[in-house]
């Protein structure tokens, strides 16, 4: 009798699985844990969180300031003042409006296979870049999620990033109550009746286009990439696989190469702090706070083993408090030991729901714990370290 | 994390985590704990994934680490009364010859065979997630197959009697 190890392995392993009830319990536990930690994460999260805004404000705001990409508008809900600041400082550039200006070699729109991809907006500071593109002419198959992933080079090199992620705007956001709703009408997101009860997302804009945003956390944060040519090349437009952990499935292959001179702002608050964080042994050494993102450095007492398992650094900055008392959360994008012998750890973070007015920054926020309010609801509490460089 | 993402994570990876943890622990009653550990790490992790494959590799690596930690803390689990242990719900282990045979192999052989034949990773990729060289994985696979062949022969002899 001849054995086929592969088919026997498949047969045996296919039968080893959780029941649907056990999986349902896991989903429940995971959502409960997410609520307690208040620390969403993951690729999807980046797309969703950066799309998060207060929908009511967005609906009114969008009517007045329609120039910004839907992703940036929905993510940050910027006031007119912030928009003016961002454009004046060079943080935000509406790329379509730079046509014909000094950068004669730029290509901001490309068409292939009947699909046109256009660079819409860049938001760039010393630590991070957000590049938004409009994709026209692609018919997203019903019930499928789009999958787009470009190859990016700066000055012809690929080693410019600490991390990259990206995703299409899925038409959803959070309302004031934190509920997941459609950005277009504020109605709760609906779930399908398929096996996974997947959310029904609103990927396609009214004009039939998709909006893709690519997020880059820079490897070096001294602004050295600005003034260099950035090339963003798309080789396919596809859909996400329905198979478990399957690879994306390209639907249309082609070549869409866009390039322009990367510009942004180096404006930041740079301050030395040397402040102990709460009751930990960790010392916040210094911080560079930009309008979009920030970089903080920490002195650790002992080697932090969580790094090996890619667990989030518990003392990482998690937000910025402004002088008016408003608080804006941020999320780590790139972390690591800057100097392992000296136990100096760094964290680069991206603001989730705001572009900062640097003149209004008051302090940095660090996770402290959870407390119950009068209604028994969990309230996230923080340690605050004042930023002396704030004006 | 929203419900959509929680369901995607559980539906995509829970069974894989169960299968990997079974290779390590030889039982399934702690698999749900391992799943929860891995998903919580995912929840608080700070890395971005370049692709689905990158995410999957991270889940596998984290599962292996969670299993190792679990084994280290197993002393504490021995204090659970047998009556209590019997009430812990656990996914049923299929009654197949292969799973029985694999139990007799060292854990690194079991895991390599699983990742190679079921998840269809190459030896190089397995080396990356297990933290060993490609050559080492090739040896694990070769020795694992050889041991399984010997066990097949024994089993078939028994069946023939």
Burial (CB < 10 A; 0-12, 13-18, 19+), residue A205, is middle
Nearest Cα of chain A lies from the Cα of B48 at a distance, in angstroms, of 6
Question: In angstroms, rounded to a whole number, what is the distance separating the alpha carbons of residues A386 and A369?
Answer: 19
Closest CB from A18, A23, A309 relative to B62? A309
B54 and B34 in a single domain? The answer is: yes
Q: pLDDT of A121-158, one tens digit each?
A: 999 999 899 999 999 999 999 888 898 888 899 999 88
Task: List phi, psi (to 5°) of B6.
Answer: -60, -45
Among A11, A37, A164, beta carbon nearest to B96: A11
To 10 degrees, the CA torsion angle through B32, B34, B39, B41? Answer: 160
pLDDT band, very low/low/confident/very high, at B159 (cuts 50, 70, 90):
low
Total-model pTM = 0.59
- Spell out the alpha helix ranges (H) of A51-203: 55-64, 70-76, 80-89
pLDDT surpassing 60 at residue A61: no
B160, B82: one domain: no
Instruction: Bin A123: left if φ > 0, else alpha if -120 < ψ < 50, else beta.
Output: beta
Tens digit of pLDDT for each residue in B86-142?
344 567 777 778 888 888 888 889 999 999 988 888 888 888 888 888 888 988 898
A10 at interface of B, judged by CB pairs closer than 8 A: yes
Q: How far, rounded to the nearest angstrom, does the alpha carbon of residue A123 sit from its chain's CA centroid?
A: 12
pLDDT surpassing 70 at residue A34 = yes
Q: Which residue has the higher pLDDT, A243 or B11?
A: B11
Contacts of A6 in chain B (CB under 8 A): 117
CB-nearest partner of B44 from A3, A39, A195: A39
Mean pLDDT, all residues of chain B: 78
* DSSP SS3 for A22: helix
Q: Indicate if B70 and B38 belong to the same structural domain.
A: yes
| A&B contacts, CB < 8 Å | 188
User: Residue B7 and residue A196: Cβ atoms within 8 Å?
Assistant: yes
DSSP A190: P
Report the b/e string of A159-171 with b at 16+ CB within 10 A: ebbbbbbbbbbbb
The answer to whether residues B54 and B14 belong to one domain is: yes
**Of the candidates B50, B78, B93, which is a domain's last residue?**
B93
- Kindly report the three-state secondary structure assignment for every residue of A118-158: EEEEEEECCCEEEEEEEEECCCCCCCCCEEECCEEEECCEC
CATH numbers and ranges of domains, chain A: 43-261 (2.60.40.1630), 269-386 (2.60.40)
Q: Which of B42, B48, B91 sits opposite A18 (nearest CB)?
A: B91
Residues B53 and B104 in one domain: no
What's the distance, Cα to Cα, between the start and end of chain A in Å?
Answer: 81
- Tokens found for residue A331: 């999320």
A27 and B113 in contact by Cβ < 8 A? no
Judged by CB atoms closer than 8 Å, whether chains meet at A22 and B32 is answered as yes
For residues B45 and B83, membership in a common domain is answered with yes
Average of per-residue pLDDT values in chain A: 82
Please, which residues 246-305 of chain A have a Cβ atom closer than 8 Å to chain B? 246-248
> pLDDT grade, residue A306 (50/70/90)?
low
Shared domain check, B86 and B43: yes
The residue that leads in pLDDT, B49 or B16, is B16
Sign of CA dihedral B34, B35, B39, B40: negative
pLDDT grade for B155, boundaries at 50, 70 and 90: low
User: Could you tell me the pLDDT band of residue A263, with boundaries at 50, 70 and 90?
Assistant: very high
* Closest approach of A111 to chain B, Cα-based (Å): 25
CATH number at residue B113: 1.10.10.10
- Bridge partners (DSSP) of residue B69 are none
Q: In this complex, is the C-beta atom of A45 within 8 Å of any C-beta atom belonging to chain B?
A: yes
């Amino acid at each position: 009798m001849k054995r086929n190890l592969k088919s026997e392995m498949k047969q045996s392993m296919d039968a080893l699985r959780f029941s649907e009830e056990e999986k349902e319990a896991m989903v429940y536990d995971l959502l409960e844990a997410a609520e307690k930690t208040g620390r969403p994460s993951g690729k999807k999260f980046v797309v969703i969180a950066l799309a998060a805004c207060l929908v009511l404000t967005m609906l009114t705001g969008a009517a007045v300031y329609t120039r910004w990409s839907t992703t940036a508008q929905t993510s940050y809900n910027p006031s007119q003042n912030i928009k003016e600041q961002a454009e004046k400082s060079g943080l935000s550039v509406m790329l379509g409006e730079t046509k014909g200006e000094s950068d004669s070699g730029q290509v901001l729109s490309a068409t292939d296979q009947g699909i046109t991809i256009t660079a819409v907006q860049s938001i760039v500071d010393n630590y991070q870049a957000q590049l938004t593109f409009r994709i026209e002419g692609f018919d997203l198959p019903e019930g499928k999620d789009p999958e787009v992933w470009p190859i990016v080079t700066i000055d012809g090199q690929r080693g410019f990033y600490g991390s990259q992620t990206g995703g299409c705007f899925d038409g959803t956001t959070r309302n004031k109550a934190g509920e997941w709703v459609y950005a277009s009408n504020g109605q709760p997101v609906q779930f399908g009746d398929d096996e996974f009860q997947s959310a029904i997302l609103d990927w396609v804009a009214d004009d039939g286009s998709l909006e893709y945003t690519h997020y880059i956390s820079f490897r070096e944060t001294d602004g050295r990439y600005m003034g260099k040519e950035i090339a963003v090349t798309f080789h396919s437009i596809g859909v996400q696989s329905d198979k478990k952990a399957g690879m994306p499935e390209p639907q249309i292959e082609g070549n869409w190469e866009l390039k322009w001179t990367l510009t942004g702002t180096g404006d930041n608050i740079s301050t030395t702090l040397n402040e102990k964080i709460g009751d930990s042994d960790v010392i916040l050494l210094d911080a560079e706070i930009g309008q979009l993102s920030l970089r903080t450095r920490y002195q650790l007492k002992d080697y932090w083993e969580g790094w090996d398992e890619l667990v989030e650094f518990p003392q990482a900055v998690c937000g910025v408090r402004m002088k008016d008392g408003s608080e804006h959360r941020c999320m780590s994008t790139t972390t690591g030991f800057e100097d392992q012998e000296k136990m100096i750890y760094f964290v680069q973070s991206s603001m989730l729901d705001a572009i900062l007015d640097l003149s209004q920054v008051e302090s940095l926020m660090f996770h402290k714990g959870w407390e119950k309010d009068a209604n028994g609801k969990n309230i996230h509490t923080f340690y605050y370290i004042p930023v002396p460089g704030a004006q | 994390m929203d419900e959509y993402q929680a369901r995607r994570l559980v539906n995509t990876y829970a069974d894989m985590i169960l299968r990997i943890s079974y290779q390590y622990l030889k039982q399934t009653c702690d698999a749900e704990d391992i799943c929860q550990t891995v998903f919580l790490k995912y929840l608080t992790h700070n890395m971005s994934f370049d692709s689905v494959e990158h995410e999957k590799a991270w889940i596998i690596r984290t599962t292996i680490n969670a299993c190792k930690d679990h084994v280290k803390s197993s002393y504490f689990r021995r204090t659970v009364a047998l009556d209590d242990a019997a009430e812990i719900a656990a996914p049923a282990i299929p009654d197949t010859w292969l799973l029985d045979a694999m139990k007799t192999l060292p854990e690194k052989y079991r895991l390599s065979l699983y990742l190679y034949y079921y998840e269809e990773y190459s030896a190089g990729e397995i080396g990356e997630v297990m933290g060993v060289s490609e050559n080492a994985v090739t040896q694990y696979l070769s020795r694992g197959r050889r041991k399984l062949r010997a066990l097949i022969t024994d089993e078939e002899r028994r069946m023939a009697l």
